[in-house]
Structure 1
């Protein structure tokens, strides 16, 4: 669990909520089938039992992965049809199932699709109430369903915005505004997939600010933070449009370069080094001349993303060992997939 990215954890939570709702639907239909048997309504019991089996199969089959949208739609259509039939047969008693069904629709899908689905459920249930119940009762039920629809829609919109905000906070470094380690797993895994399936090269640049501790000791940590922010901005301005920049440590940064072979990555790394070394940085109370040490590694056959990062980090350590303010590339590259 700790090694999973924020994206993976969030999607896993959503999948779990959806599965639990489907399981709850299956159990509810099974209980209702039992009640219908007790009331000697065997046809209704058979329909409810069949629905319970379908829902249980869906929940079990997709117990460890995402339930496809088509099965979610089938789930909602099935329950809506049963609820409609219940209102037609039982009148006011059947209406009670419309409310949890409407609420569940907000959890089965996200954003606009959830609102659209809830609107369809509201229309169908309102139509059933107006068709098979006294008009005065039907309008009251319609009004109450509309209130739930409006409140639920507001909840879905606000929840969606909150999730996006929380996700942004999780995957973003607060000091520099760059992506952090939480996104790195997914990004590197995708590049490895592209390399193994389509033979698309990719390279990493691992860089570290030289003598950052001495800078903090001399000018203070606030000054050091200013330097890191300026460093991130200068690196980002120098990189190509498809390159991705991550802050992976205190003064350590990682550049992910898709569709890039080793020699090309070395050229970009040298541009980064010169962009930092050739122009001083202006702090609030002082000016600083900074340099960076850089390690470059191209993805090798059968490497995991952790091994790939370690290769770039080894090249970075070599650059530091040789005196800093220079670029070192990982040797013994094997291009075959």
Structure 2
């Protein structure tokens, strides 16, 4: 009944960010190694040595973390070395050396996020401007400082706006638009965290798979808009009866999943019975009619040998059994015992 992908939206977004960062480090390595030849030809041996060493370091970082996130301290080292090389270039080449400051400044906004990116970009702007003032004519130095400051301000605005947009898009991706509940995009990460906690600390956890009974008949009789009203009311009722740490997801048309951290099978059954009564005891008020609704619930406690997919399947199977037995009841996954 419930199909899910192995990768959540969070994971896909993080993988994309990691790939961008890694490619930037690779690009830095290739560029510096190529420029080493130019510096040797110009007899700038110290700068050539620094560029060559930095290029090798960058290549090693990119290769070492080719399949994972580059830690922040290596990213910071990447930016510090590039800033130092830029300052050396300004000292050695004057205005020509300043050209490297602009892509360096822009890179800082991609290497880090939000306030960290702005802080790093500010540091680069100050360091580069100081080098320009120290090694160049004042008329040129203040123009360079002004242009870098403009880029810093515009980049900071971009970072702030992009951060807000990403958070908004992330919220839209993981939220069901009808009920306001979390959707299946967020579920994978939550279940994996519970699996890790169970394996490491032996903290129990349970799932409730819940399905609204005869929902198709409800839609056929009253219309889909009426059905949507009932789903929203159902979501609100369920949320009101759940505990603070419990999490509620809408994972299908009329199907919901309740995640119960640190909850064994006996306690999970009690929660399921409360939810069953919450739905059936009071009628639901629609715009044009009042209806009585019921739900069927499958309960499954996490077992050591299970993956999250097998855990969900256990709860799903129990739900099917509850429906087979006549609906409006709770069934426990087969093979579980209350302890």
TM range (shorter): over 0.9
**Aligned residue number for residue 120 of structure 2:** 117
Deviation at 1:171, TM superposition (A): 0.6
Cα shift readout 1:265-308 (whole Å, capped 9, x = no counterpart): 00000000000000000011111100000010000121010100
**Aligned residue number for residue 331 of structure 1:** 334
- Structure 2 SS opposite 1:175: coil
Cα shift readout 1:242-267 (whole Å, capped 9, x = no counterpart): 00000010000000000000010000
Distance in 2 between residues matched to 1:97 and 1:282, nearest whole Å: 66
Of 259, 266, 270, the match for 1:267? 270
Distance in 1 between residues matched to 2:274 and 2:231, nearest whole Å: 18
Tell whether the 8 Å contact from 2:212 to 2:296 is kept in structure 1 after alignment: yes
**Aligned residue number for residue 220 of structure 2:** 217
**Aligned residue number for residue 288 of structure 1:** 291
Deviation at 1:46, TM superposition (A): 1.8
Q: Does 1:175 align with 2:178?
A: yes
Deviation at 1:2, TM superposition (A): 5.0
Change (3 A) 1:244 1:190: same
Distance in 2 between residues matched to 1:335 and 1:29, nearest whole Å: 64
Report the more deviating stretch, 29-38 or 244-253. 29-38
Tell whether the 8 Å contact from 1:26 to 1:56 is kept in structure 2 after alignment: yes
Q: How many residues align?
A: 336
- Structure 2 SS opposite 1:301: coil
**Aligned residue number for residue 188 of structure 1:** 191
**Aligned residue number for residue 279 of structure 1:** 282
CA RMSD of aligned residues (A): 1.3
- Structure 1 SS opposite 2:182: coil
Alignment gaps of 5+ in structure 1:
none
Q: Does 1:128 align with 2:125?
A: no
- Structure 2 SS opposite 1:279: coil
Alignment gaps of 5+ in structure 2:
none
Tell whether the 8 Å contact from 1:209 to 1:290 is kept in structure 2 after alignment: yes
Q: Does 1:94 align with 2:105?
A: no
Tell whether the 8 Å contact from 1:300 to 1:334 is kept in structure 2 after alignment: no
Deviation at 1:44, TM superposition (A): 2.1
Distance in 1 between residues matched to 2:48 and 2:129, nearest whole Å: 25
Change (3 A) 1:108 1:334: farther
**Aligned residue number for residue 106 of structure 2:** 103
Distance in 1 between residues matched to 2:203 and 2:306, nearest whole Å: 14
Tell whether the 8 Å contact from 1:300 to 1:335 is kept in structure 2 after alignment: no
Deviation at 1:334, TM superposition (A): 7.1
**Aligned residue number for residue 30 of structure 2:** 27
Distance in 1 between residues matched to 2:95 and 2:224, nearest whole Å: 68
- Structure 2 SS opposite 1:208: strand
**Aligned residue number for residue 19 of structure 2:** 16
1:65-80 equivalent positions in 2, closer than 5 A:
65-80=68-83
- Structure 1 SS opposite 2:48: helix
